[in-house]
Amino acid sequence: MTQALVKLDEARVDPVAAHVRRARAGDERSFERLLDDRIASLLRLALAIVGDEHDARDAVQQACVQAWRELPRLREPDRFDAWLGRILTNQCRTMLRSRRRRRVREVAVSDLDVVAGGGLGGRSVAGPGDESADLDTLSRAFDRLDPDARVLLALHHLEGRSVAEIAARMDAPQSTIKWRLHTARGALERALEVERR
């Protein structure tokens, strides 16, 4: 009866911390509940960072396995979300770095034609108002960024995280995150210029 009251008190205070404590003690169901509430957000973030659904799912899966293994080391159960986010972003960075080493850039015939003669048959392939061409250009420019810049831009602009949240997640001072965001935006602008040529 006393244990039931303690669990009830824990749940009232902070349900996340209560689930984390139970999961640290080996309760797989509590860990599954923690993940169920966060899996969609984790997938969105991973997809934004790595840009490929298959790789995003792999990164989330690897992050969840790593989180389960390292859960006993989590000192502050109320910081579970930031901790899990940090694990996921590190998995995504690792994936991007390994992908860069083995990646070969394909050049489509239409790209060669645009570079050589300004379009097919004298026509422009994509006009300035063509949204899909703009998205494709942005995607290619984003792919040019280093993993750290991609993580920061995805967290801030796609996930809508504040500088304070990102600083907590990355265990860095807010001023550092602001500077890195500024640098990442500059790198994206330069990559966009390259892609638009």
**What is the model's pLDDT at position 167?**
87
Q: Are 173 and 167 in contact (CB under 8 A)?
A: yes
**What is the model's pLDDT at position 3?**
59
DSSP string computed for 1-57: -HHHHHHHHHHHH-HHHHHHHHHHTT-HHHHHHHHHTTHHHHHHHHHHHH--HHHHH
**What is the model's pLDDT at position 84?**
92
Instruction: Summarize pLDDT for 35-76 with one digit per residue, the tens.
Output: 998 999 999 989 888 888 899 999 999 999 999 999 998 888
Q: Are 137 and 196 in contact (CB under 8 A)?
A: yes
Instruction: Summarize pLDDT for 95-143 with one digit per residue, the tens.
Output: 888 776 544 444 343 433 333 333 333 334 444 455 667 778 888 888 8
Can you list the domains of the chain with their CATH numbers?
1-104 (1.10.1740.10), 111-197 (1.10.10.10)
pTM for the full predicted model? 0.64
**What is the model's pLDDT at position 63?**
95
pLDDT band per the 50, 70, 90 thresholds, residue 77: confident
Average pLDDT over residues 143-155: 86
Task: Specify the higher pLDDT residue, 108 or 164.
Answer: 164
Contacts of 98 (CB under 8 A, 6+ apart): none
Dihedral sign for Cα atoms in the order 111, 113, 115, 118: negative
**What is the model's pLDDT at position 4?**
55
Residue 158 has pLDDT above 60, yes or no: yes
Average pLDDT over residues 145-153: 86
Average pLDDT over residues 188-196: 88
**What is the model's pLDDT at position 170?**
80
- Three-state DSSP class for 3? helix
**What is the model's pLDDT at position 151?**
86
**What is the model's pLDDT at position 7?**
54
- Return the percent helix, strand and coil in the chain, to nearest 5: 80, 0, 20
- The lowest-confidence range among 8-22, 35-49, 142-156, 170-184 is 8-22
